[in-house]
Protein backbone atom coordinates (compact mmCIF):
# COMPACT_ATOMS: atom_id res chain seq x y z
CA UNK A 1 0.00 0.00 0.00
CA UNK A 2 1.23 3.50 -0.86
CA UNK A 3 0.97 5.77 2.21
CA UNK A 4 1.63 9.47 2.70
CA UNK A 5 2.36 10.38 6.32
CA UNK A 6 2.10 13.99 7.50
CA UNK A 7 4.25 14.37 10.60
CA UNK A 8 3.77 17.61 12.55
CA UNK A 9 6.67 19.85 13.54
CA UNK A 10 5.27 19.93 17.07
CA UNK A 11 5.38 16.11 17.15
CA UNK A 12 9.12 16.47 16.63
CA UNK A 13 9.37 18.92 19.50
CA UNK A 14 7.02 18.62 22.46
CA UNK A 15 5.19 21.76 23.56
CA UNK A 16 7.35 23.79 25.92
CA UNK A 17 10.54 21.82 25.20
CA UNK A 18 13.67 23.89 24.54
CA UNK A 19 14.48 24.02 20.82
CA UNK A 20 17.73 22.05 21.09
CA UNK A 21 19.26 19.62 18.61
CA UNK A 22 19.29 16.95 21.34
CA UNK A 23 15.55 17.25 21.99
CA UNK A 24 14.83 17.22 18.27
CA UNK A 25 16.99 14.15 17.80
CA UNK A 26 15.38 12.25 20.68
CA UNK A 27 11.86 12.94 19.39
CA UNK A 28 12.80 12.02 15.84
CA UNK A 29 14.27 8.76 17.12
CA UNK A 30 10.88 7.84 18.61
CA UNK A 31 9.08 8.85 15.42
CA UNK A 32 11.49 6.87 13.26
CA UNK A 33 10.91 3.67 15.22
CA UNK A 34 7.14 3.84 14.59
CA UNK A 35 7.56 4.73 10.92
CA UNK A 36 10.22 2.09 10.23
CA UNK A 37 7.87 -0.59 11.54
CA UNK A 38 5.32 0.14 8.79
CA UNK A 39 7.86 1.07 6.08
CA UNK A 40 8.91 -2.59 5.98
CA UNK A 41 5.48 -3.47 4.56
CA UNK A 42 4.35 -0.33 2.73
CA UNK A 43 5.60 2.32 0.31
CA UNK A 44 5.89 5.39 2.54
CA UNK A 45 6.42 9.10 1.97
CA UNK A 46 7.00 11.24 5.07
CA UNK A 47 6.01 14.91 4.95
CA UNK A 48 7.27 16.61 8.12
CA UNK A 49 6.36 19.98 9.61
CA UNK A 50 8.86 22.68 10.51
CA UNK A 51 6.95 25.35 12.45
CA UNK A 52 9.08 25.38 15.63
CA UNK A 53 12.31 24.94 13.71
CA UNK A 54 11.75 27.65 11.09
CA UNK A 55 10.60 29.95 13.89
CA UNK A 56 13.87 29.35 15.72
CA UNK A 57 15.87 30.25 12.62
CA UNK A 58 13.82 33.44 12.25
CA UNK A 59 14.66 34.40 15.84
CA UNK A 60 18.34 33.58 15.33
CA UNK A 61 18.37 35.72 12.17
CA UNK A 62 16.86 38.61 14.07
CA UNK A 63 19.35 38.36 16.94
CA UNK A 64 22.34 38.14 14.60
CA UNK A 65 21.14 41.18 12.66
CA UNK A 66 21.28 43.19 15.90
CA UNK A 67 25.00 42.34 16.09
CA UNK A 68 25.77 42.89 12.41
CA UNK A 69 23.17 45.01 10.60
CA UNK A 70 24.85 44.35 7.23
CA UNK A 71 23.65 40.72 7.38
CA UNK A 72 19.98 40.99 6.48
CA UNK A 73 17.49 38.32 7.56
CA UNK A 74 17.24 35.27 5.31
CA UNK A 75 13.83 34.91 3.59
CA UNK A 76 11.39 32.22 4.68
CA UNK A 77 11.89 30.06 1.59
CA UNK A 78 15.61 29.78 2.40
CA UNK A 79 14.89 29.10 6.09
CA UNK A 80 12.41 26.43 5.02
CA UNK A 81 15.09 24.78 2.89
CA UNK A 82 17.45 24.83 5.89
CA UNK A 83 14.91 23.02 8.07
CA UNK A 84 14.30 20.44 5.31
CA UNK A 85 17.98 19.61 5.41
CA UNK A 86 18.21 19.54 9.21
CA UNK A 87 15.07 17.51 9.93
CA UNK A 88 15.46 15.35 6.83
CA UNK A 89 19.00 14.43 7.84
CA UNK A 90 17.93 13.34 11.33
CA UNK A 91 14.86 11.44 10.10
CA UNK A 92 16.86 9.69 7.39
CA UNK A 93 19.57 8.66 9.83
CA UNK A 94 17.23 7.47 12.58
CA UNK A 95 15.08 5.50 10.12
CA UNK A 96 18.26 3.75 9.00
CA UNK A 97 19.26 3.14 12.61
CA UNK A 98 15.82 1.62 13.27
CA UNK A 99 16.09 -0.68 10.25
CA UNK A 100 19.27 -0.66 8.17
CA UNK A 101 17.55 -2.69 5.44
CA UNK A 102 15.42 0.30 4.47
CA UNK A 103 16.49 2.45 1.53
CA UNK A 104 15.77 6.04 2.59
CA UNK A 105 16.03 9.20 0.50
CA UNK A 106 15.44 12.83 1.47
CA UNK A 107 14.54 15.15 -1.40
CA UNK A 108 14.39 18.94 -1.22
CA UNK A 109 10.95 19.73 -2.63
CA UNK A 110 9.59 22.97 -4.06
CA UNK A 111 5.88 23.75 -3.77
CA UNK A 112 4.29 26.30 -6.09
CA UNK A 113 1.83 28.86 -4.69
CA UNK A 114 -0.28 31.60 -6.24
CA UNK A 115 1.50 34.89 -5.60
CA UNK A 116 -1.94 36.59 -5.50
CA UNK A 117 -3.36 34.23 -2.86
CA UNK A 118 -5.37 36.34 -0.33
CA UNK A 119 -3.66 34.39 2.48
CA UNK A 120 -0.73 36.80 2.10
CA UNK A 121 -2.97 39.47 3.64
CA UNK A 122 -4.10 37.30 6.59
CA UNK A 123 -1.23 35.47 8.35
CA UNK A 124 -2.46 32.35 10.22
CA UNK A 125 0.42 29.84 10.27
CA UNK A 126 2.04 29.34 13.70
CA UNK A 127 5.84 29.23 13.72
CA UNK A 128 8.48 29.26 16.41
CA UNK A 129 8.35 28.93 20.20
CA UNK A 130 5.52 29.88 22.56
CA UNK A 131 5.55 33.21 24.42
CA UNK A 132 3.68 34.79 27.30
CA UNK A 133 1.81 38.06 26.74
CA UNK A 134 4.57 39.96 28.57
CA UNK A 135 7.24 38.45 26.31
CA UNK A 136 5.49 39.39 23.07
CA UNK A 137 5.05 42.97 24.31
CA UNK A 138 8.84 43.20 24.58
CA UNK A 139 9.37 41.54 21.18
CA UNK A 140 6.93 43.89 19.45
CA UNK A 141 8.84 46.90 20.75
CA UNK A 142 12.04 45.59 19.18
CA UNK A 143 10.41 44.02 16.09
CA UNK A 144 7.05 45.69 15.35
CA UNK A 145 6.57 43.78 12.07
CA UNK A 146 6.18 40.47 13.93
CA UNK A 147 2.56 39.28 14.22
CA UNK A 148 1.44 37.06 17.11
CA UNK A 149 -1.79 35.15 17.76
CA UNK A 150 -3.04 33.09 20.68
CA UNK A 151 -2.17 29.38 20.66
CA UNK A 152 -3.80 27.82 23.71
CA UNK A 153 -2.69 29.67 26.84
CA UNK A 154 0.28 31.26 25.08
CA UNK A 155 1.14 33.22 21.94
CA UNK A 156 3.11 32.25 18.84
CA UNK A 157 4.25 34.16 15.80
CA UNK A 158 2.13 33.76 12.65
CA UNK A 159 3.13 34.11 8.99
CA UNK A 160 1.30 33.86 5.67
CA UNK A 161 0.27 30.37 4.55
CA UNK A 162 -1.03 30.24 0.94
CA UNK A 163 -2.69 27.16 -0.59
CA UNK A 164 -0.24 24.81 -2.38
CA UNK A 165 -0.88 24.60 -6.13
CA UNK A 166 1.71 22.12 -7.44
CA UNK A 167 4.68 20.06 -6.25
CA UNK A 168 7.58 20.54 -8.61
CA UNK A 169 9.34 17.26 -7.82
CA UNK A 170 6.32 14.89 -7.54
CA UNK A 171 7.52 12.74 -10.47
CA UNK A 172 10.91 12.26 -8.84
CA UNK A 173 9.17 11.21 -5.61
CA UNK A 174 7.11 8.62 -7.51
CA UNK A 175 10.26 7.29 -9.17
CA UNK A 176 11.97 6.92 -5.81
CA UNK A 177 9.00 4.97 -4.41
CA UNK A 178 8.88 2.69 -7.44
CA UNK A 179 12.53 1.87 -6.84
CA UNK A 180 11.98 0.78 -3.25
CA UNK A 181 12.82 3.95 -1.34
CA UNK A 182 11.18 5.28 1.80
CA UNK A 183 11.00 8.97 0.92
CA UNK A 184 11.19 12.13 3.06
CA UNK A 185 9.76 14.96 0.96
CA UNK A 186 7.86 18.27 1.01
CA UNK A 187 9.36 19.15 4.38
CA UNK A 188 7.57 22.06 6.02
CA UNK A 189 4.97 21.95 3.25
CA UNK A 190 7.70 22.30 0.67
CA UNK A 191 9.97 25.23 -0.12
CA UNK A 192 7.53 27.96 -1.26
CA UNK A 193 8.02 29.18 -4.82
CA UNK A 194 6.01 30.68 -7.66
CA UNK A 195 6.48 30.37 -11.39
CA UNK A 196 7.34 33.70 -13.01
CA UNK A 197 6.14 34.74 -16.47
CA UNK A 198 9.46 33.60 -17.98
CA UNK A 199 8.99 30.13 -16.46
CA UNK A 200 11.61 30.56 -13.72
CA UNK A 201 10.90 29.48 -10.16
CA UNK A 202 11.21 32.23 -7.54
CA UNK A 203 11.18 31.86 -3.74
CA UNK A 204 8.24 33.28 -1.75
CA UNK A 205 8.13 34.74 1.77
CA UNK A 206 5.66 32.38 3.48
CA UNK A 207 5.29 28.94 5.10
CA UNK A 208 2.94 26.44 3.44
CA UNK A 209 0.77 24.22 5.61
CA UNK A 210 2.38 20.78 5.50
CA UNK A 211 -0.96 18.93 5.79
CA UNK A 212 -2.35 20.62 2.67
CA UNK A 213 0.88 19.92 0.76
CA UNK A 214 0.85 16.31 1.96
CA UNK A 215 -2.71 15.96 0.62
CA UNK A 216 -1.68 17.40 -2.74
CA UNK A 217 1.28 15.01 -2.86
CA UNK A 218 -1.03 12.09 -1.99
CA UNK A 219 -3.15 13.08 -4.98
CA UNK A 220 -0.24 13.50 -7.37
CA UNK A 221 1.46 10.19 -6.53
CA UNK A 222 -1.92 8.35 -6.27
CA UNK A 223 -1.56 7.23 -2.66
CA UNK A 224 -3.88 4.58 -1.21
CA UNK A 225 -3.95 6.07 2.30
CA UNK A 226 -3.25 9.57 3.62
CA UNK A 227 -2.48 9.87 7.35
CA UNK A 228 -2.00 12.99 9.44
CA UNK A 229 -0.13 12.21 12.65
CA UNK A 230 -1.01 14.42 15.59
CA UNK A 231 -2.03 14.02 19.26
CA UNK A 232 -4.74 11.43 18.57
CA UNK A 233 -8.26 11.16 17.20
CA UNK A 234 -10.52 14.01 16.10
CA UNK A 235 -12.91 15.12 18.87
CA UNK A 236 -16.27 16.79 18.74
CA UNK A 237 -16.76 19.35 21.53
CA UNK A 238 -13.07 19.04 22.39
CA UNK A 239 -12.23 20.01 25.97
CA UNK A 240 -15.85 19.96 27.10
CA UNK A 241 -17.66 17.46 29.29
CA UNK A 242 -19.51 16.04 26.27
CA UNK A 243 -16.45 15.61 24.03
CA UNK A 244 -16.54 12.57 21.73
CA UNK A 245 -13.68 10.89 19.90
CA UNK A 246 -14.64 10.01 16.33
CA UNK A 247 -13.69 6.55 15.03
CA UNK A 248 -15.18 6.65 11.51
CA UNK A 249 -16.80 9.51 9.61
CA UNK A 250 -17.47 10.76 6.08
CA UNK A 251 -16.16 14.06 4.70
CA UNK A 252 -19.74 15.34 4.44
CA UNK A 253 -20.42 14.72 8.13
CA UNK A 254 -17.06 16.13 9.22
CA UNK A 255 -17.68 19.27 7.17
CA UNK A 256 -20.63 20.14 9.42
CA UNK A 257 -18.33 21.06 12.32
CA UNK A 258 -15.95 23.97 12.89
CA UNK A 259 -12.28 23.43 13.70
CA UNK A 260 -9.67 26.17 14.46
CA UNK A 261 -7.91 27.58 11.38
CA UNK A 262 -4.49 27.63 13.04
CA UNK A 263 -4.42 24.00 14.17
CA UNK A 264 -7.00 21.26 13.42
CA UNK A 265 -8.81 23.15 10.64
CA UNK A 266 -6.23 22.56 7.85
CA UNK A 267 -5.94 18.90 8.88
CA UNK A 268 -9.69 18.39 8.49
CA UNK A 269 -9.68 20.26 5.18
CA UNK A 270 -6.83 18.12 3.89
CA UNK A 271 -8.26 14.70 4.77
CA UNK A 272 -11.74 15.62 3.52
CA UNK A 273 -10.34 16.86 0.21
CA UNK A 274 -8.37 13.66 -0.39
CA UNK A 275 -11.23 11.30 0.45
CA UNK A 276 -13.83 13.35 -1.45
CA UNK A 277 -11.84 12.84 -4.65
CA UNK A 278 -12.38 9.09 -4.32
CA UNK A 279 -8.66 8.34 -4.19
CA UNK A 280 -8.64 6.37 -0.92
CA UNK A 281 -9.18 6.69 2.81
CA UNK A 282 -7.54 9.15 5.17
CA UNK A 283 -6.88 9.06 8.90
CA UNK A 284 -5.87 11.34 11.75
CA UNK A 285 -4.15 9.64 14.67
CA UNK A 286 -1.24 9.38 17.09
CA UNK A 287 2.30 8.63 15.97
CA UNK A 288 2.90 6.01 18.67
CA UNK A 289 -0.21 4.13 17.47
CA UNK A 290 0.64 4.29 13.75
CA UNK A 291 0.20 0.58 13.04
CA UNK A 292 -3.21 0.63 14.74
CA UNK A 293 -4.19 3.78 12.80
CA UNK A 294 -3.40 2.01 9.51
CA UNK A 295 -5.45 -1.00 10.63
CA UNK A 296 -8.38 1.27 11.58
CA UNK A 297 -8.23 0.45 15.29
CA UNK A 298 -7.03 3.86 16.48
CA UNK A 299 -7.47 7.50 15.49
CA UNK A 300 -10.18 8.84 13.21
CA UNK A 301 -10.80 7.23 9.81
CA UNK A 302 -12.30 9.38 7.07
CA UNK A 303 -14.01 7.29 4.41
CA UNK A 304 -16.74 7.47 1.78
CA UNK A 305 -18.59 4.65 3.54
CA UNK A 306 -21.73 6.26 4.93
CA UNK A 307 -21.25 5.59 8.61
CA UNK A 308 -20.40 7.60 11.69
CA UNK A 309 -18.90 5.77 14.65
CA UNK A 310 -17.53 7.01 17.98
CA UNK A 311 -15.20 5.37 20.49
Q: Using pLDDT thresholds of 50, 70 and 90, give the confidence band for residue 142.
A: low
CA angle at residue 294 from 293 to 296, to 5 degrees?
65
Task: Give 236's strand partners.
Answer: 244
pLDDT single digits (tens) 26-77: 999 999 999 999 999 999 999 999 988 888 898 888 888 889 988 888 889 9
The Cβ-side half-sphere exposure at 112, using a 13 Å CA radius, reads 13
Q: Cα 11 from chain centroid?
A: 10
The whole-number pLDDT of residue 287 equals 92
Q: Using pLDDT thresholds of 50, 70 and 90, give the confidence band for residue 190.
A: very high
pLDDT higher than threshold 80 for residue 141: no
pLDDT higher than threshold 70 for residue 300: yes
pLDDT higher than threshold 80 for residue 185: yes
What's the CA gap between 24 and 216, in Å, rounded?
27
Q: Using pLDDT thresholds of 50, 70 and 90, give the confidence band for residue 258.
A: confident
Q: Cα 121 from chain centroid?
A: 21
What's the CA gap between 32 and 25, in Å, rounded?
10
pLDDT single digits (tens) 144-183: 777 888 888 888 888 899 999 999 999 999 999 999 999 9
The whole-number pLDDT of residue 220 equals 98
What percentage of the chain has pLDDT greater than the value 70?
Answer: 97
Q: Please report, for residues 83, 100, 118, 216, 254, the alpha-carbon distance to residue 270 in angstroms, rounded to integers and kept in the order given.
A: 23, 32, 19, 8, 12
Please tell me which residue, 248 or 13, carries the higher pLDDT value. 248
Please tell me which residue, 153 or 272, carries the higher pLDDT value. 272
Q: From 224, 204, 309, select the one nearest 275 (Cα to Cα).
A: 224
The whole-number pLDDT of residue 8 equals 80
Mean pLDDT of 236-250: 89
CATH of domain 2-118+163-223: 3.40.1160.10
CA angle at residue 225 from 244 to 39, to 5 degrees?
110
Point out the residues that are catalytic.
9-10, 125, 210, 267
Label residue 278 exposed, middle or buried (CB < 10 Å: 0-12, 13-18, 19+). exposed
The whole-number pLDDT of residue 262 equals 59
Please tell me which residue, 241 or 304, carries the higher pLDDT value. 304
pLDDT higher than threshold 80 for residue 246: yes
234, 263 contact by CB (below 8 A): no
In sequence order, which residues have a C-beta less than 8 Å from that of residue 75 and are 6 or more positions away? 203, 205
Q: Using pLDDT thresholds of 50, 70 and 90, give the confidence band for residue 91.
A: very high
The whole-number pLDDT of residue 125 equals 81
The whole-number pLDDT of residue 9 equals 63
pLDDT higher than threshold 80 for residue 203: yes
Q: Which of 22-26, 140-144, 296-300, 305-309 has the lowest mean pLDDT?
A: 140-144
Which secondary structure element, helix H or strand E, spans residue 71, and what is its range? none
Amino acid sequence: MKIVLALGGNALLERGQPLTATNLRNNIKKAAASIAAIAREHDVVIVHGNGPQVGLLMEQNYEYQKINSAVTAYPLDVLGAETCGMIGYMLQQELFNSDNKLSITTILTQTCVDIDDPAFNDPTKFVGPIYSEEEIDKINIANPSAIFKKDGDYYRRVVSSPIPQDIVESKQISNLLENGNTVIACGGGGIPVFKANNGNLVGVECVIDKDLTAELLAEQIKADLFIILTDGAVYLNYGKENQQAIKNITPEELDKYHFPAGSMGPKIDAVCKFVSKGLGDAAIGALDELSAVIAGHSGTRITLDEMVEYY
